Amino acid sequence: MKVARLLLTLIPFMLLVACGNKDVEVTIPTLLAKSDATDIDKFNSMVQKDGIEVTQNNNGSLTYTMTKETHAEIMTELGTQVDGIMADMTSGNEFPSIQDISSNETYSEFVMSVDRERFESSFDQLGLLGLAMSGLIYQLFDGASLEEYQVVVNLEDANTGDVFNAITYPDALNPFK
């Protein structure tokens, strides 16, 4: 799945080299952070070579500390990645019911125009998660707090223009909340 591959590339693309004082901190919640300690150690040693310090917090979240220059490069790359995910989802045959996707500048809200009948009876709904996760990561790196970050995906019927569902992440990832 193209979206899954693109999501897996978000973190490595964040590993850009920069020098100078470290003065930007970004915390990724446990929900989005890797949970296997071995993987975290391997990942931490890889990013530290690029001048990004990683701290695993007691609650399982990860805090990245980097220079402003590195942060600016990461934000540019993350925006490019989210735009690429939207383009991939609307082109090709992987998600045939999805006709168009638009977003606001902070990727906190998406409008996904779909052939409703095809969408509701297909696996195209799986694409929502990749889109939402990329928006959540973008927001966290853009300075949203763990209490504020969220993505709303509005599902719009392409035939009528009516929004027939709105899904809010990360709430949708925790059904017991």
Per-residue pLDDT of 86-134, as tens digits, reads 999 999 789 999 999 999 999 999 999 999 999 999 999 988 999 999 9
Cis peptide before 175 (omega within 30 of 0): no
pLDDT over 70 at 22, yes or no: no
Phi and psi for 28 in degrees, rounded to 5?
Answer: -105, 125
pLDDT over 80 at 24, yes or no: yes
Taking the CA atoms of residue 26, residue 15, residue 131 and residue 88 in that order, the dihedral angle to the nearest 10 degrees is 160
> Per DSSP, which regions of the chain are E strands?
24-28, 53-56, 62-66, 98-103, 109-114, 151-157, 163-169
146 vs 166: CA distance, rounded Å: 21
pLDDT over 80 at 13, yes or no: no
Residue 152 has what pLDDT? 98
Residue 17 has what pLDDT? 35
Q: Say if CB 137 and CB 10 are below 8 A apart.
A: yes
- Joined together, the tokens standing for residue 68 give 């402003």
Per-residue pLDDT of 43-91, as tens digits, reads 667 666 667 888 888 988 888 899 998 899 889 999 999 999 999 999 9
Q: Say which residues have a Cβ less than 8 Å from residue 44's Cβ, sequence separation at least 6.
A: 54, 56
Q: In terms of DSSP bridges, do strands 109-114 and 151-157 run parallel, antiparallel, or are they unpaired?
A: parallel
2 vs 23: CA distance, rounded Å: 34
164 band by pLDDT with thresholds 50, 70 and 90: very high
**6 or 74: which leads in pLDDT:** 74
Residue 15 has what pLDDT? 35
Residue 146 has what pLDDT? 84
Q: Is the dihedral of CA 129, 111, 3, 25 positive or negative?
A: negative
110 vs 166: CA distance, rounded Å: 10
